[in-house]
Amino acid sequence: MREAITPERQIAAGHVPAAEARAFIIRHTTVAAPPACPEISLRLAPDLIALWEAMETTFGGVRPTPFWAHAWVGGQALARYLLDTPAVVAGRRILDFGAGGGVVAIAAGKAGAATVTACDIDPMARAAVPLNAELNRVPVEVVADELLGRELESDLVVLAGDVWYERHLAERATLWLRRLAAGGHTVLVGDKRRAFFPKSGLEPLAMFELATSTDVEPDTSSPAGVWRVQP
Q: Which of 109, 123, 130, 161 binds ligand SAM (CB under 6 A)?
A: 161
d(CA 222, CA 24): 31
Give the nearest distance from C-beta 18 to ligand SAM in angstroms.
Answer: 16
* Position 81 contacts ligand SAM (CB under 6 A): no
Least distance CB 138 / ligand SAM (angstroms): 16
Q: Does 163 bind ligand SAM (CB under 6 A)?
A: yes
Q: What residues numbered 172-231 form the site for ligand SAM, per CB under 6 A?
A: none
Residue nearest to ligand SAM (CB): 75
Question: Which positions from 118 through 147 interact with ligand SAM, judged by CB under 6 A?
Answer: 119-122, 125, 146
Under the binding rule (CB under 6 A), the answer on residue 7 touching ligand SAM is: yes
By CB under 6 A, tell whether 170 contacts ligand SAM: no
Q: How far is the CB of 167 from ligand SAM (least distance, A)?
A: 12
Strands 30-32 and 42-44: antiparallel
| Least CB distance to ligand SAM at residue 90 (A) | 21
Spell out the residues 6+ positions from residue 217 whose beta carbon is closer than 8 angstroms to its own.
73, 192
Smallest gap from residue 103 Cβ to ligand SAM (A): 5
| Rounded-to-integer distance, Cα 195 and Cα 5, Å | 17
CB 124 within 8 A of CB 16: yes
Q: What is the DSSP letter of 155?
A: S
Torsion angle (degrees, nearest 10) of CA 79, 136, 102, 113: -60
Residues 93-122 that bind ligand SAM (CB under 6 A): 97-101, 103-104, 119-122
Closest CA to 66 of 140, 2, 134, 117: 2
- Binding residues for ligand SAM, rule CB under 6 A, total 26
Tell which residue, 14, 23, 16, has the closest CA to residue 131.
Answer: 23
Nearest distance from C-beta of residue 34 to ligand SAM, angstroms: 8
Q: Is-contact 165 152, C-beta < 8 A? A: no
Q: Could you tell me the end-to-end alpha-carbon distance of the chain, in angstroms, rounded to an integer?
A: 35
Of 165, 176, 197, 208, the one binding ligand SAM by CB under 6 A: 165
Q: Which positions from 50 through 79 interact with ligand SAM, judged by CB under 6 A?
A: 67-68, 71-72, 74-75
- Please tell me whether residue 21 binds ligand SAM under the rule CB under 6 A: no
Phi-psi label, residue 101: left if phi above 0, alpha if psi -120 to 50, beta otherwise: alpha
Dist. CA 133–CA 118, nearest whole Å: 11
Binding residues for ligand SAM, per CB under 6 A? 7, 67-68, 71-72, 74-75, 97-101, 103-104, 119-122, 125, 146, 148, 161-163, 165, 169
